Chains A and B, each alone.
Chain A
Amino acid sequence: MPLRIANQVRRGPAVTLWVDGQALDAFAGESLAAALLAAGRRALRQSSRAGTPRGVFCMMGACQECLVRVDGKRALACQVAVCDGMRVETGAAG
């Protein structure tokens, strides 16, 4: 089942991101965290000491759990709006 809720909004234009080298469809302007969740990509990094998987937790830029690399720079997925061709590297294992 798609996680994007229908009818409430008209989303931005469809775009393609590259997440760990794989294409991922999203809509321009939506939060990268939301786009990743909607695509079922929940583990975004491993914790620094114990190496356990982590994903989106607070959505407001506080918890730092959704830290990924966007076009080569460290960024919080929940604070980044997606655009076409964006390259995202997660720190998830595998």
Chain B
Amino acid sequence: MTRDPEILILGAGPAGLGAALALATCGVEALIVDSGSAAGGQVYRPLPGAFEPGDASGLGPDYREGERQRRLLADSGAGTAFGRLVWSIGTDLRVDALGPEGPESWRPKGIVAAAGATERVVPFPGWTLPGVMGLAAATILLKSQCVLPGERVLVAGCGPLLFAVANAIRKGGGQVVAVADLAGPGAWLHALPALLGQPRDLLRGASWMARLRAQGVPLLFRHGVREARAAGAGLEVSLGAVDAAGRPIPSASEKTLEADSLVVGHGLIPATEAVRLLGAEVVFDADAGGWVPRLDRDQRSSRAGLYAAGDGAGVRGAAAAFLAGRIAGMTAALDLGRIDAGHHARATAPLRRRLARARRFGRAMARLMAQRPGQVDGIAGDTVVCRCEDVTRAEVEAALERGAADVNQLKSWTRCGMGPCQGRMCGDTVGQIVAARTGSREAAGAWTARAPLRPLGVDALAGDFDYADIPLPAAAPL
């Protein structure tokens, strides 16, 4: 077990890294804990340890930025604990993790939650088939593993990842059967003023789209996946037009395409389990991806000693995450009494200015991939909503009909969200289905967060022990 850090940072993506760097400049002992093998998170994910960059330009600017950030972290002197799955966080701020050497725990004075996001995929018939995977999954395969998600790939969903993934598949030598975007081409124009704040990113986005068009890849705007079916070793995917709310237009004709793989994603959902486990206040913000912690301008949550930053505090992208992480780190140092208010103000003022710009861009991007109200409406009754437990929409509706009043009661009655993904894949969809009855996401509620934060092997957690090593409490009364 390592010594207790003063501040423990959950997640080694850009936000966690920003926090670690800021804390290091203030002389605060910080420990960054992550399940991965190196820093970078999902956006700046490193290559596997045994890989060497070949043609580095092929790996793109995110790889180079990731390498830069990993060097900064290494030079900062911040402690790191990789390969650790954090499974419990107590209100006494005790953090329990399972690592290669078994269980570990720390008692920091403060925690920075920088857990990032998971991907939203709104269910459609066939979304559970092998060969259907998330846009974020494809991104990881392409960028970190340098593996194509398929030979002929259909890319569908919404948001900036669509064109990034399609472009990376082309660049890697794969074929993009089509790109189906829920948004109309106008949506990008609407976002333009905000996007102009980050001209480099805007240029990247524009060039992706232009390149795909030039290469003759069909770009289907205002289209969504109606159904995927297994066909031989590959898939047959029906696409159809959707309205502005993402609802399938029944009268519109369907287009059926064949592909090896369907890569589909509908935006990102902030990972707030740690924040909710600690009982910090969360609010629902659709434009930020869903439930997010309520934060003050210095990244403090409603719970003393808990800070949050990055996509886990509301989807705003990697640039905003890094800056918000640095502010969170400075604030934690301030609250520990390691710097004074003046130092904090001076250090954070330039960060805030840059953050405001990055957030405008991030917000515009997040809007492009926010859940559209009609998407969930359009899910058919026999479509599986909860992948783990194979619970269909009709079963969910039946429980609501019988009186289930919020997502947690629904879960008790149907097992929807009770499986090993712990509701991560279905939570947003189910929340929306329940909200259609209760009137709001707030009334529908959010899953109660509980340990373990991820499934844990019994053997790994129990460890090697004899009977005498079981700390038996006193016997129950007779």
Residues of A within 8 A of B (CB): 1, 3-13, 27-31, 34, 37-38, 40, 42-44, 47-50, 52-65, 67, 73-74, 78-79, 81
Contacts and interface: CB of A to CB of B under 8 A. Distances in A.
B421 A8 contact: no
28 contacts: A1-B151, A1-B173, A3-B150, A4-B146, A4-B147, A5-B147, A5-B172, A7-B54, A8-B59, A10-B54, A11-B50, A12-B48, A12-B49, A13-B50, A29-B50, A34-B145, A47-B128, A47-B388, A54-B130, A55-B130, A56-B137, A59-B137, A59-B140, A59-B141, A60-B42, A60-B118, A61-B454, A63-B387
B425 interface: yes
Given A31-B145, A38-B147, A60-B137, A50 B424 contact: no
B229 to A, nearest CB: 13
Given A8-B59, A34-B145, A74-B457, A64 B420 contact: yes
Contact of A29 (B49, B59, B119): B49
A67 to B, nearest CB: 7
B147 A60 contact: no
- Interface hub of A10, A58, A60 (most chain B Cβ within 10 A): A60
B431 interface: no
B61 interface: no
Given A48-B390, A58-B137, A6 B425 contact: no
Interface string B139-177: 011101111111100000000000000000000111000
B151 A60 contact: no
- Interface hub of A6, A40, A59, A65 (most chain B Cβ within 10 A): A59
A55 to B, nearest CB: 3
B141 A37 contact: yes
A59 B146 contact: no
Contacts of B455: 64
Contacts of B51: 9-12, 27, 29-30
Contacts of B174: 3
Nearest to A34: B145
Contact of A47 (B131, B133, B148, B387): B387
A48 B49 CA distance: 34
Nearest to B130: A55
Contacts of B58: 5, 7-8
Given A3-B151, A30-B145, A50-B390, A62 B421 contact: yes
B421 A30 contact: no
B47 A61 contact: no
B389 interface: yes
Contacts, number: 153
Nearest to B234: A42
Contacts of A29: 48-51
B50 A27 contact: yes
Contacts of B52: 9-10
A61 B35 contact: yes
A25 to B, nearest CB: 13
A23 B37 CA distance: 27
A73 B130 CA distance: 22
Contacts of B252: none
Closest 9 pairs between A and B when the two form their complex, measured CB to CB: A12-B50, A55-B130, A29-B50, A59-B137, A29-B48, A42-B130, A34-B145, A49-B390, A5-B172
Contacts of B49: 12, 29, 81
A92 B144 CA distance: 26
Given A53-B130, A54-B128, A65 B48 contact: no
A65 B148 contact: no
A23 to B, nearest CB: 19
Interface in B168-193: 172-174
B388 to A, nearest CB: 7
Given A52-B129, A63-B425, 18 more contacts: A5-B142, A5-B146, A8-B54, A9-B47, A9-B54, A27-B50, A29-B49, A30-B147, A34-B147, A38-B147, A47-B390, A48-B390, A54-B128, A55-B130, A57-B134, A60-B42, A62-B424, A63-B424
